[in-house]
Homo-oligomer: A and B are copies of this chain.
Amino acid sequence: MSRNIAVGKAQALPIEQQSLEIVERKGKGHPDTILDAVVEDVGVNLCNYYIDNFGRILHHNVDKGSIAGGRALVTFGGGELLEPIYICVVGRATTEVFKEGELHRVPLGTLTLSSINKTLKNTLRFLDPTEQVLMDYKVKPGSADLTHVFEIAVDDIPRANDTSFGVAFAPFSETEELVFQTEQLLNSDAFKKKHPEVGEDIKIMGLRTNDDIQLTIAAALLAPLIPDADHYKGVLNDITDAVLDQSKKITNREVNIVVNSADDPKRGSYYLTITGTSAEMGDDAGVGRGNRANGLITPCRPMSLEATAGKNPQNHVGKIYNVLAQLIADHVIKEESRVSEIYVKILTRIGYPIDQPLIASAELVVEDQGSWNDIEKSVIGILDAELADVCSVQQLILDKKVRLF
């Protein structure tokens, strides 16, 4: 078995030499990210149920769904939720299983509700799922047409359940690192302890033009903890200071920060919430509309449109290949120090064994062109090994050891 692997030179300037970068991250309390977490957890819980009860993952994909924002009334020092946030999980799952001549039924509905509750409690400190969220699910039994693709795979390599691809790159540029770490900082336990007024819904947009970086931060603040405009202003200043502080450890470039630029104090308009997420009022969401599997949205870099969240980790290449591509990219950067930048793309066709994609390609930025052949060989080896080991991606996903959004 020889895999279809192509390794070549990068076809673009190294990212730091490019004149423009746009980088975005939607924090864990952003509606899109909440929804990704909700459906991914439903998927993982389903997987665990299947494994516990049937020894293997059964067909499912719960990778669609919506959040319809609620309605809130917010004022400094308080507020109330008038209409709950609506969350609906959409997809398909195996709910009836014949095993040794007997029919087993999967508790799909209660598992889903229980899972949504837990995810919300883990994500948002100030949301009460019981009274502030209306939950629903529209999950049907899966397509019979694909079932056999799945079944064939029991003792063997699973077969791709879609014609799809994954892409990744490494390492992060400075701007990417800055955007990512800014959200991590503002949503860290340490920061929340010091500044509980800062909600989990944080969106960072980074723009680099040459050596100038502008960070636009939207941070939902918690109205009940903020008595007045002065306090509000103080929190924004604290955010700016903390982010600026951290940015110095990441880049020497000039960093400008704007927080909550839609505020209009003259009109009494501030970014205040009761629950810490804009889903309570202004914002709806769809699965897969937020961060890519590396945690960022990077229009100047190759991206996949696949929602990784909620897809089954056994044969849905739209999920597996995005994770695998990242693992490969990270692996190469870590193991092969002569490669300073890598782009990985993996594409396959429905029905193909997932360890033998139609193509797996890597494009490399290499300074020492002289050792190209050597590097090429080394990178091909890494790709080959990782592809051979593709089935281990599933466990990493179930153990939540890889980022998906």
Contact = CB atoms under 8 A, between A and B. Distances in A.
Interface of A: 6, 8, 11-13, 17-20, 22, 61, 63-71, 73, 80-84, 86, 88, 90-92, 105-110, 113-114, 117, 129-132, 134-136, 138-146, 148-149, 163-165, 167, 203, 205, 207, 209, 214, 216, 218, 258, 261-262, 264, 267, 269, 271, 278, 281-290, 297, 299-300, 302-305, 307, 345, 347, 349-351, 358-359, 361, 363
B285 A64 contact: yes
Contacts of A216: 163, 349-350
A371 to B, nearest CB: 20
Given A66-B66, A140-B69, A22 B347 contact: yes
28 contacts: A6-B19, A6-B20, A6-B209, A11-B18, A12-B12, A64-B68, A64-B284, A71-B141, A80-B107, A81-B107, A82-B108, A92-B282, A110-B131, A136-B136, A145-B281, A146-B282, A148-B267, A163-B216, A163-B218, A164-B205, A165-B299, A167-B299, A262-B350, A262-B351, A264-B351, A299-B304, A299-B345, A300-B302
Contacts of A261: 163, 349-351
Given A66-B64, A163-B218, A284-B92, A130 B117 contact: yes
A223 to B, nearest CB: 12
A20 B165 CA distance: 13
A81 B69 contact: no
B110 A132 contact: yes
Nearest to A164: B205
B284 A90 contact: yes
A35 to B, nearest CB: 10
Contacts of A109: 70-71, 81-84, 134
The 3 closest A-B pairs by CB, nearest first: A143-B282, A12-B12, A68-B138
B305 A359 contact: no
Contacts of A304: 299
Contacts of A284: 61, 63-64, 90-92
B205 A163 contact: yes
A72 to B, nearest CB: 9
Contacts of A305: 289-290, 297, 299, 303, 305
Contacts of A136: 134, 136
Contacts of A132: 110, 113
A91 B284 CA distance: 6
A81 B129 CA distance: 20
A88 B66 contact: yes
B138 A66 contact: yes
A165 B281 CA distance: 23
Contacts of A141: 71
A228 to B, nearest CB: 18
Contact of A73 (B105, B163, B218, B264): B105
A300 B6 CA distance: 15
A282 B268 CA distance: 38
Contacts of A11: 12-13, 17-19
B138 A114 contact: no
Contacts of A347: 22, 205, 207
A103 to B, nearest CB: 10
Contacts of A69: 92, 140, 143
A117 B128 CA distance: 12
Contact of A68 (B140, B164, B209, B290): B140
